[in-house]
């Protein structure tokens, strides 16, 4: 987990420092001076202030472009100030951030010591192994239905589910297929229970393969509502992949979920 947090700090530092550089370039193209806005009654008036702070009333229509440019300039100056301040503090934090955190200590021990020591804070690898090894009874398959096997050697119920499982596997995303979950007092079997390792959080992926079937699509809506009532919210800890007879499953959607939501 330390790796993920350190990476987030570096990513944010890169974002803020890059933003500051881009704004500095943009500001060079704006005119000198600034705008002062005065309210009198229900009317507002725009005054141009030069470097000596001398005021000149501007005409809203004739000087409209100038007003817009200087207000935008002022906004960018504020964003620049905030970006530089954040980047400065992030750089200090990154420089002072320890290289070894609590969850890293166990891995740094010698092999002999690791055989005896019992880790208090699990490494990501240990946490994943523990999560993957929780036993469960798989949901049974009906006789005579097609057999689809994943790269991991599991049987799934459709070609699309096989593709999803294999995509998760090759991307190193820990998952359990049809792992039983209690939702509102009843046991359901989400297609995929996924471990988002960076925050050690369970998320769920349901593949909805017959969305042009009205009865099936109504069942999907009902299940999403049941998930929501149990605190498993669509877009946060619940994700859907969809297809119909005329709109096949697009693996690019899954790839984006893996990149953005499952790591």
Phi-psi region of 153 (alpha: psi -120 to 50; beta: other; left: phi over 0): left
pLDDT of residue 118: 86
Note the pLDDT tens digit of each residue in 179-228.
999 988 889 999 999 999 988 999 999 999 999 999 999 999 999 999 99
Phi, psi (deg, nearest 5) at residue 204 = -125, 140
pLDDT of residue 143: 92
Helix (H) or strand (E) holding 11: helix 2-27
Helix/strand/coil (H/E/C) assignment for every residue in 63-107: CHHHHHHHHHHHHHHHHHHHHHHHHHHHHHHHHHCCCCCHHHHHH
- Beta strand 55-57 with 148-149 is unpaired
Average pLDDT, the chain: 92
Structural Rg of the chain based on CA atoms: 28
The answer to whether 166 and 151 have CB atoms below 8 angstroms apart is yes
pLDDT of residue 207: 97
pLDDT of residue 83: 97
pLDDT of residue 3: 56
How many Å apart are CA 140 and CA 133, to the nearest integer? 20
Q: In the structure encoding, which two tokens stand for residue 232, read together?
A: 């498993």
**Per-residue confidence in pLDDT tens, the chain, 263 aa:** 555 778 889 999 999 999 999 999 999 999 999 999 999 988 999 999 998 888 999 999 999 999 999 999 999 999 999 999 999 999 999 999 888 888 788 888 999 998 899 888 788 888 999 999 999 998 999 999 999 999 999 999 999 999 999 999 999 999 999 999 998 888 999 999 999 998 899 999 999 999 999 999 999 999 999 999 989 999 999 999 999 999 999 999 999 999 999 99
- Residue 77 neighbours by CB distance under 10 Å: 14
pLDDT of residue 185: 87
pLDDT of residue 125: 86
Q: At what angle do helices 2-27 and 64-96 cross, to 10 degrees?
A: 150
- Residue 262 neighbours by CB distance under 10 Å: 22
Question: Whole-model pTM?
Answer: 0.65
């Amino acid at each position: 987990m330390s790796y993920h947090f350190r990476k987030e700090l570096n990513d944010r530092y890169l974002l803020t420092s890059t933003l500051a550089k881009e704004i500095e370039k943009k500001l060079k193209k704006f005119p000198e001076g600034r705008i002062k806005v005065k309210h009198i009654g229900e009317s507002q008036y725009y005054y141009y202030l030069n470097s000596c702070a001398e005021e000149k009333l501007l005409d809203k229509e004739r000087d409209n472009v100038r007003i817009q440019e200087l207000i935008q300039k002022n906004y960018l100056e504020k964003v620049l100030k905030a970006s530089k301040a954040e980047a400065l503090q992030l750089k200090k934090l990154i420089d002072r951030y320890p290289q070894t955190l609590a969850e890293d200590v166990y891995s740094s021990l010698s092999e002999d010591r690791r055989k005896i020591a019992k880790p208090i804070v699990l490494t990501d690898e240990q946490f994943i192994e523990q999560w993957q090894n929780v036993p469960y009874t798989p949901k049974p398959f009906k006789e005579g239905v097609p057999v689809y096997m994943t790269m991991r050697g599991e049987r799934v119920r459709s070609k699309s589910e096989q593709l999803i499982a294999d995509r998760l596997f090759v991307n190193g995303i820990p998952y359990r297929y049809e792992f039983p979950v209690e939702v509102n007092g009843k046991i359901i079997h989400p297609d995929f229970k996924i471990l988002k390792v960076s925050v050690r959080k369970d998320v769920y992926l349901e593949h909805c393969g017959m969305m042009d079937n009205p009865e099936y699509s109504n069942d999907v809506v009902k299940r999403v509502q049941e998930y929501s009532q149990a605190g498993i919210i669509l877009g946060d800890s619940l994700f859907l992949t969809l297809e119909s007879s005329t709109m096949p499953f697009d693996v690019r959607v899954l790839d984006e979920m893996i990149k953005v939501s499952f790591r």
